[in-house]
A and B are shown apart, each in its own frame.
Chain A
Amino acid sequence: MKLKLLGAAGMALFLAACSDHANKNVNTGAATQQVGPTPGSEADLVATAGDRVLFALNQNTLSSDAKATLDKQAAWLAKYPQVHVQIAGNCDDRGTEEYNIALGERRANAAHDYLVAKGVDASRITTISYGKDRPTAVGDDEASWDQNRNAITAVQ
């Protein structure tokens, strides 16, 4: 996993260095000269494809919006074949702790299976579930719960 991560970062540096060539500032480090997210990075995934899909109450069905996001993730992953991702499934807090661990994994698995069906090598994707213990929105209203029923793809 570490080697792959270095691979992605190394390529990002390389790309950044190329883009920096014109302003002759290569040696000061790529990060300070970067315009926009580093290609192949988590931020790039968020900007290019979106990192998360949302689910209805107690559901793991992928909506058309969710499929559109995952299509973009699949395309992005095809562009950066060295990148590995982990999909984290999450739940609102209207279920029990243990059931929600399984439900979060079910959601992560739905996203996983969709990406694999779209041609992403299964070995590049791991899944995890945080149940209701890592809420995106910290409130307890419908709008927050909507945000918290998700599967979030993160670059490893």
Chain B
Amino acid sequence: MTSSVKPLIPDDDADRLAAAFGRRGFMGAGVAGGLMATPLFAAGAAHAQAGDAEITVDQARTAPIPIVLPSLGSGVAQQITDVISADLANCGLFRPISASMPQGTPDFGSYKSMGARAAMTGKVMDQGSSLRVEFRLWDVMTGKQIQGTAYTAAAQDWRRIAHVIADVIYGRLLGEQGYFNSRIAYIARSGPRARQITRLAIMDQDGADSRYLTNGQWLTLTPRFNPANSELAFMSYANYRPRVYLFNLNTGQQRLLGDFSGISFAPRFAPDGRSVVLSVTRGGGSDIYTVDLTTMARRQITSSGAIDTSPSYSPDGSQIVFNSDRGGSPQLYIMSAAGGDAKRISYGRGYYGSPVWSPRGDLIAFSRIANGSFSLGVMAPDGTGERILTQGFTVESPTFCPNGRVLAFCRQSSAGRNGAGFATGINTIDITGFHERALPAGSASDPTWSPLNK
């Protein structure tokens, strides 16, 4: 977003956002508890008024926002502080500054001299099975409280509280929704390269709390979240019949999606969550279908005879970007969500693949392959403005974070003749191409970023 966005949203708006972060499912934090947010009013300090952004994302990218993050205490309080600090530092837009927790109103003069623009204060109250975290965010320049909220949640949900606070800091200072309270599903890989064990897995966006969802018996690929954040569509070779399945994150149950004679693969949910678009092999090619999740009715929307695959909806659901070699080589095309004429949008050198539409609607991320190496890039939906963000032996399977500012993707290194040197992992990169970093997911591929946790 641009600087026209108002960043300083009123407390009650922020609280509504926080309240929306309700219960996580069984595969989330593993608890049924909700997160309660209540406003805290500033003692002896004026509230900041909502107004235009003083700091934009673009400015923060050039010079990360210095923010004082004193420790909230010892034990779990320190852990919460560490998670908040890591979220803010790792996104590349903030520079956390350690300090001791002030008694009462912070000494803004000293914070100014440290170069800080904002400061957090707060405390953690251990209430046995639950935690109460009081959090205040301050504008160091004006000395005004920007936000004050007390969060109460089950004690084991401490990470979620930390991510929600980091999201509030991000949102209040940058004027757009944060993305730290989210997860990444992926494929965990182990074993020799010729026959890797693949498991469906899920973790918090920072790599914490990872867990396997399948046991590795079958080759498993390409998980994709539904918009409700409760289900994954993925591909499994169960019983040597490669097909798309659904994995319910609340119950752990799996079910087959549709009954196709060919290989069904490359699933993605429609933005309304009511259907899944996927491709199905037929002869020497593959066609794109949609499957209605209520009626299981399927609808074929391409029939080029060539390979049509990797469909991804525009966020308004009106269009689909996909990968096709109908013109002779794998390229990116856009068509109406109902099918029909497709317009090629990729014209750079080499082949294109794995397109995914940004949740903002303004960009399509993709892989491009030329001279035996991969690039990861973005372009506008009309094909203009192509920018390469990063390159490597293999960089593919891009997936946008919920606010569209960051991509996670799979990065692989090349192997020597005996297979040594091969490594596969999940990295993130800002859509400007800055701040690429590896997520601590171990040997992994096929990342897919969840919507914000409920």
Contact = CB atoms under 8 A, between A and B. Distances in A.
Interface of A: 58, 60, 86, 93-99, 101-103, 105-106, 109-110, 128-130, 133-136, 138-141, 143-144
B310 A98 contact: yes
B309 A106 contact: no
Given A102-B285, A139-B418, A93 B394 contact: yes
Contact of B414 (A103, A128, A140): A140
Contacts of A103: 307
A97 B372 contact: no
Contacts of A133: 196, 198, 219, 221
B404 interface: no
A74 to B, nearest CB: 19
Contacts of A144: 417
Contact of B281 (A102, A136, A140, A141): A102
Given A101-B242, A134-B194, A139-B415, A94 B323 contact: no
A150 to B, nearest CB: 13
A93 to B, nearest CB: 7
Nearest to B415: A140
**Which are the 4 A-B pairs with shortest beta-carbon distances?**
A138-B419, A96-B353, A140-B414, A139-B417
A98 B415 contact: no
A94 B263 contact: no
Contacts of A110: 284
Given A94-B372, A138-B415, 8 more contacts: A60-B284, A101-B281, A106-B281, A130-B237, A133-B196, A133-B198, A139-B418, A139-B419
Nearest to A126: B240
B222 interface: yes
A97 B446 CA distance: 9
Interface residues of B, number: 50
Contacts of B367: 96
Interface string B299-334: 000000001011000000000000101000110000
A77 B175 CA distance: 68
Contact of A138 (B281, B284, B353, B418): B418
A141 B414 CA distance: 9
A140 B336 CA distance: 39
B260 interface: no
Contacts of A141: 417
B329 A98 contact: no
A138 to B, nearest CB: 3
A60 B325 CA distance: 13
Contact of B309 (A102, A130, A136): A102
16 contacts: A58-B329, A96-B330, A97-B445, A99-B323, A99-B325, A99-B330, A103-B307, A105-B284, A128-B237, A128-B263, A130-B237, A133-B196, A134-B194, A138-B192, A139-B416, A141-B417
B36 to A, nearest CB: 42
B396 A97 contact: yes
B286 interface: yes
